[in-house]
Structure 1
Amino acid sequence: MRVLVTGHQGYLGTVMVPMLQTAGHDVTGLDTGFFADCVLGTWPTDPPGLQVDLRDVTVEHLQGFDAVVHLAALSNDPLGALAPQITFDINHLASVRLARVAKEAGVRRFLYASTCSVYGAAGDGLVGEDAPLRPLTPYAESKVRVEDDVAAIADDSFSPVFLRNATAFGFSPRLRVDIVLNNLVAHAVLTGDVRVLSDGTPWRPLVHARDIAAAFRTALEAPIDKIHCVAYNVGSEANNLTVADIAESVVDAVPGAKLLITGETGADPRSYRVDFSRFRAALGFNAEWSVSDGAAELYKEYTAAGLQSDDFAKKFTRLARLESLQERGALDGSMRWTDRGE
Structure 2
Amino acid sequence: MPTRYSARDMLARLVAFPTVSSRSNLDLIAFVEDYLAGHGVTSTRVTDETGEKAALHAVIGPQVDGGIALSAHTDVVPVEGQAWSRDPFTLEEENGRIYGRGTCDMKGFAALALAGVPDMLAADLKRPIHIALSYDEEVGCLGAPPMIESMLASGPRPATVIVGEPSSMQVITAHKGTAVIRVTVHGHSVHSSQWDRGVSAVAAAARIVAWLDDQTRANQAAADPELAMDPPFTTLHCGTIEGGTAANIVSRSCSFHCDIRTIPGETLEMWMESLQDFVDTRIVPGMKAVHPETGVDIELLAAVPGLAPEDHGKAEEIARRLTGDNGRHMVVYGTEAGQFQARGISAVVCGPGSIDQAHQPDEYIETAQLAAGEQFIRRLVADLSR
> What TM-score does the superposition give when structure 2 sets the normalisation length?
0.26
**Between Structure 1 and Structure 2, whose CA radius of gyration is higher?**
2
**TM (normalized to structure 1)?**
0.28
Give the number of the structure with larger relative contact order, counting CA–CA contacts within 8 Å between residues 6 or more apart: 2
Give the structure with the higher percent helix: 1
